[in-house]
Structure 1
């Protein structure tokens, strides 16, 4: 354990920075002489990472934005690969951001450096042939979910399921009353959280639909209250415009989505990572999603998974209702959500089983896997 080791890591966005910082903490606890180099955000830098350039230079979303920044991204990746091959770390860990990190992993592995990819892309759902590149690029895949590990085992990719850090940080039981006090919501009566997404396009597609469904639900249940956490000032302004002219008992929040989930009785939610948070807070949910008609037709041909929402993928059954595209109407959403305010026990029991499955001390598991790979366990 006395021999110094050098670990290179690259994270491309805030969620990866959180994962990377947790992994670094766990590695330092296991191995006192460890050096970190690569690219990361403020959390990873605080843990001791020497970051070659700001992580924000990799945080690009949207096809047009990526195309505009492509020359810079390619140049940065080329320089990073050259630098890391010269530095010869004991292991490289690419954290999510597969379009950037898998290319780095491939070149480093070809140069004889051990490589790990932390957080699987959705290769099990669509573009499954990407698994061939993954198999060529990394010595070890670390997955957050057990069904992902099964997929890689079937495709002869070395893999380890490490659990999900959110399952470690979110308690097995949420204090609903404390959350309601914190958000100044009624102590009694039904509260429904509306979560139409964190991006402008999602709110544009789902915002009015969710508000219409809320009005229909309130007509069915006159006392119900609503809370909607906004991911940013821009999203709040967008929602406020959609609320103009509506008579709806709705509390808008700046962020605080976890408190909203703890405070509510049920959730109307867009398909995405927020469904995992709702699951971990044990809140019955109805999942909805809409995309442009042409996009939907293309995705139907590409996606091989039976379900789109994480709760159902994790349960391997239809645990939560999924109302997609034309099936997602205000009436259908309200009618599907209403019974969950009386009894969501089937969902919440399933959520509890999944939470305990994912609660594995992910950072410690990931550190153990990395150290085993380089013979430092």
Structure 2
């Protein structure tokens, strides 16, 4: 490599990818302080100096059917990003998750002679394993966050490096619940308070689909408790406004229990989870974080009817929540579609607030140790090695 600054294109499509990308960027900057990052960035990437071409929120769309309503805009963004990096070739393009957006871009840029990396393997282990051939055509290297993913790529002879998960490196094996309660900004939680964390998702569609039933479930739980403090962290200002509107309507409804307090916070999701006695959350990366925070949880998800029918025919694993997928057994309750209702959810939550409830499931600890691999440094090193820039 010449002495000019590295030019790195990097695109993340949602909050979890923003965290992964920012950790990698920080480690690259430790070796190449003048490296330049450009692409589509979330708040954590922006703090590391990434220039963003579009708001990351525009890519945060979940579901096969739901994407269709945004397809024209998504195609425009992808075409614009492709043209930008064709005209201004980077040393490497890193697509962080968002495979439907990133992989077609990676394929076209690779054909133009630009090295490409895909960080977070698409779920080839879960459905459509033959996608791995398209992934190999689009990328020079896949960085996987789960150990079982690499075995799939090795079977087909395609480059893949297991790097672990950055959250496993940043969360203590045994988090301090009392300290987390003391450090929360915007709410005061007594050490003896009964606290339920609600995380209905980072996307607008998820929040609309799940938050009301989550609140109704919390209200039913209040029948067994003297008082319950519900804390809801919002991933950004847009989600916070959306959550506050739904909460306001719920408080005015007949479903609201008078012994329930509700606090909506900006960010702080990790401390909220650690501070909680139990967590009710949408399936996704948050369930992995809840596991690493060592808190009992109920994982729930709803899909549009047509999306669910399609996924039922395509999805292979027996479980959909990440803790259960990683353990290959049911270590947390997971509820889907019609099972996501206040009666069923509250029945699972009630035992989690018992005085003798197990606070640190040992399966969570074992999985944490498997994922703790210094992911930020490993991913950065893998990218720099690929482009021959591992040292200044």
**TM-score clears 0.5:** yes
Match of 1:238 in 2: 246
Instruction: Please tell me whether the aligned partners of residues 29 and 35 of structure 2 are also in contact (alpha carbons under 8 angstroms).
Output: no
Instruction: Please tell me whether the aligned partners of residues 86 and 109 of structure 2 are also in contact (alpha carbons under 8 angstroms).
Output: no
Match of 1:310 in 2: 322
Deviations 1:170-211 (A, max 9, x none): 222322223334431232153222333343433333333323
Unpaired segments ≥5 residues, structure 1? none
Q: Secondary structure at the match of 1:75?
A: helix
| Residues 48-197 of structure 1 aligned to structure 2 (within 5 Å) | 49=50, 51=51, 53-56=53-56, 59=59, 61=61, 62-64=66-68, 66-70=70-74, 72-84=76-88, 87=89, 89-181=90-182, 182=184, 183-197=187-201
Change (3 A) 1:5 1:287: same
Match of 2:365 in 1: 352
Instruction: Please tell me whether the aligned partners of residues 227 and 260 of structure 1 are also in contact (alpha carbons under 8 angstroms).
Output: no
Aligned counterparts of 1:214 and 1:100: Cα–Cα separation in 2: 36
Change (3 A) 1:46 1:347: closer
Match of 1:282 in 2: 294
Unpaired segments ≥5 residues, structure 2? 235-239
Match for residue 265 of structure 2 among 242, 245, 254: 254
Offset at 1:152?
A: 2.4
TM-score under structure 1 normalisation? 0.86
Residue 24 of structure 2 corresponds to residue 27 of structure 1? no
Aligned counterparts of 1:178 and 1:274: Cα–Cα separation in 2: 21
Cα RMSD after superposing both structures: 2.9
Report how many residues are paired: 371
Instruction: Please tell me whether the aligned partners of residues 17 and 40 of structure 1 are also in contact (alpha carbons under 8 angstroms).
Output: no
Match of 1:264 in 2: 276
| Residues 284-303 of structure 1 aligned to structure 2 (within 5 Å) | 284-303=296-315
Instruction: Please tell me whether the aligned partners of residues 269 and 287 of structure 1 are also in contact (alpha carbons under 8 angstroms).
Output: yes
Instruction: Please tell me whether the aligned partners of residues 167 and 359 of structure 1 are also in contact (alpha carbons under 8 angstroms).
Output: yes
Instruction: Please tell me whether the aligned partners of residues 117 and 143 of structure 2 are also in contact (alpha carbons under 8 angstroms).
Output: yes
Offset at 1:282?
A: 0.5
Instruction: Please tell me whether the aligned partners of residues 96 and 119 of structure 2 are also in contact (alpha carbons under 8 angstroms).
Output: yes
